[in-house]
Amino acid sequence: MKIDAIILRELHLPLVRPFETSFGVTSSRRILLAEVRSEGLTGWGECTAGEHPFFSPESTDSAWTVIVNELGPLLASESPEHGGQCPRLFRGVRGNRMAKATLENAIWDLEAQRQGVSLAKLLGGVRDVVPCGVSLGIQSSIPALMETIERELAAGYQRIKLKCKPGWDVEVFEKVRSRWPAITLSCDANSAYRLRDADHLTSFDAFDLLMIEQPLWHDDFYFHSMLQKRLRTPICLDESIHNRRDALAAIEMESCRIINIKLGRVGGFSEAIAVHNAAQERGIPVWCGGMLETGIGRSHNIALSSLENFTLPGDVSASARYWAEDIIEPEVSVSSAGEIAIADAPGRGYEVRTELVERLTVRKETIRAVELESLAAPASSR
C-alpha cells in the first residue's frame, strides 16, 4: 500500500477523575494520534506514552519528535504490505517502542479495512468477548476506595486491581478482603518496592491476590525471580517486558508467572503477538494492560485481547470510566457480565469522530516521504 500522508496530532483531554499511581497523578492526557492515509483509506494509531517519562523513558514529546523526524519519514517512503513489516523498517531506531507502535498499529488498522476483515481476525483472534477488569488508582481514603470498588463490581467488572505503594497496601487489602472475601483481586506497585521490603511483600500472600504486578525495579528480572521464590502469589511483569526475548528471559528465570502485554510498551501488534505466543507455548497466561487510552488505543487493545492466551481479565474497560466524551463511536461499553463484545465488522469496529478529534487537536503535522538517497549520499556528491 502506498502511503499518501501521515498526519500526527496532539489532543488534550481531561480524565473524568484523576488517576494516581506510585509514580504520580494524571488529571489530563496529552494524546498523540497518527492518521495514516493510503489509497482512500485511513488507519489510526494512538501513542501510549505518558505526559512525563515516569512509566517508561518515552513521553508525549519524545514520541512526537521521533515520529516526526525518524519513523514517519521512514514509513512514508515505503509501501508496506502489512504492519508486520514495520519492525524491520524501524529497526535502525533503538527503543522508542511507543512511538513505533503508534505507526505500526495504524498500518494494521488500515490493513484490516483493506482486507474487509475485523482487526481481531487479522491478528489471529479467536474470542468474541473479552473479559474485563478495572485498575483503581490510589484514593484519598479507604472509604472512598470502598465506594469505588462497590460501583465497579455493580457494573459487572470481573477483577479489581488496586494500585499500591508503601503506606497504601496491607491495610487497604485487609479492609477490602474483609468486605469482599471472594472477589478476584490483584495489585500493581509500578516498581514502588525494594529488596528490603521482601518480608513485607510476602505478607501480601495472606490476601489471596490473583497477582502482584511489577513490585520491584522497572528494568529487573533477577530480583523479581528471587522474590517470586518467596511468594505464593504469582508475580506479573509489566514494565520489565519490552519484547519476546524479555518474556523468554522472565519465564526462564521464573521472574513471573503471568505477563501483562501492552501494545505500546512492546512496540506494536507484531511484538505483542510474539510475546503472546511465547508465553502461550510455555503455559504462562497473559492479559492486556491499559494506559488511559482514548477509544482508538482502546479498540486496538480489545482486538489484541481476542487472542487465545488472553485468559485473564484485562485493564480494558469502558470509555465512560475515563472520558466525558470518547473520540470513537460507539463508545466502548462493558456488559453486566463484565465483558466487551468484539464486533465482526471490517477494521477496528469503532468509527473515529473526526470532527471531535479536529476540535481537540492542539498541534498537527503532516509527514510525507523524504528522499532517503539524498540523505545517505556522501557530502561531496550532494
List the single partner that 80 binds among Mg ion, ligand OSB, none, CB under 5 to 8 Å by kind.
none
What's the closest the beta carbon of residue 362 comes to ligand OSB, in angstroms? 21
List the single partner that 294 binds among ligand OSB, Mg ion, none, CB under 5 to 8 Å by kind.
none
Residue with the CB atom nearest ligand OSB in the bound state? 290
What's the closest the beta carbon of residue 54 comes to ligand OSB, in angstroms? 8
Residues 261 and 275: beta-carbon distance below 8 Å: yes
Our CB check for Mg ion shows the closer of 238 and 271 to be 238
Residues 261 and 272: beta-carbon distance below 8 Å: yes
| DSSP labels, 297-317 | HHHHHHHHTTSTT--S-BS--
Our CB check for ligand OSB shows the closer of 6 and 216 to be 216
| DSSP labels, 69-81 | IIIHHHHHT---S
Q: How far apart are CA 200 and CA 216, in angstroms?
A: 13
Active site residue 262: yes
Interacting residues toward ligand OSB by CB under 6 A: 55, 135, 188, 190, 238, 289-292, 315
Q: How far apart are CA 50 and CA 56, in angstroms?
A: 8
What's the closest the beta carbon of residue 188 comes to Mg ion, in angstroms? 4
List the single partner that 290 binds among Mg ion, ligand OSB, none, CB under 5 to 8 Å by kind.
ligand OSB
Residues 292 and 267: beta-carbon distance below 8 Å: no
Per DSSP, which regions of 217-268 are E strands? Answer: 235-237, 258-261
Q: How far apart are CA 114 and CA 285, in angstroms?
A: 32
Q: How far apart are CA 338 and CA 132, in angstroms?
A: 5
Amino acid at 273: I
Our CB check for ligand OSB shows the closer of 176 and 291 to be 291
What's the closest the beta carbon of residue 378 comes to ligand OSB, in angstroms? 45
What's the closest the beta carbon of residue 240 comes to ligand OSB, in angstroms? 12
Catalytic residue among 100, 161, 165, 262: 262
CA angle 144, 233, 259 (to 5 degrees): 90
Q: How far is CA 175 from CA 139, 142, 152, 172, in A?
A: 14, 8, 17, 5
Residues 163 and 145: beta-carbon distance below 8 Å: no
What's the closest the beta carbon of residue 183 comes to ligand OSB, in angstroms? 18
Q: How far apart are CA 163 and CA 211, in angstroms?
A: 12
> CA dihedral defined by 147, 151, 157, 160, rounded to 10 degrees?
-10
List the single partner that 131 binds among ligand OSB, Mg ion, none, CB under 5 to 8 Å by kind.
none
Our CB check for Mg ion shows the closer of 42 and 191 to be 191
Our CB check for Mg ion shows the closer of 213 and 339 to be 213
CA angle 260, 187, 334 (to 5 degrees): 65
List the single partner that 291 binds among Mg ion, ligand OSB, none, CB under 5 to 8 Å by kind.
ligand OSB
What's the closest the beta carbon of residue 235 comes to ligand OSB, in angstroms? 14
Our CB check for ligand OSB shows the closer of 264 and 347 to be 264
List the single partner that 152 binds among Mg ion, ligand OSB, none, CB under 5 to 8 Å by kind.
none
Interacting residues toward Mg ion by CB under 5 A: 188, 213, 238
Residues 10 and 362: beta-carbon distance below 8 Å: yes
Catalytic residue among 100, 161, 163, 165: 163
List the single partner that 326 binds among Mg ion, ligand OSB, none, CB under 5 to 8 Å by kind.
none
Residues 289 and 239: beta-carbon distance below 8 Å: no
Our CB check for ligand OSB shows the closer of 290 and 295 to be 290
Q: How far apart are CA 192 and CA 22, in angstroms?
A: 6
Catalytic residue numbers, as ranges: 163, 262
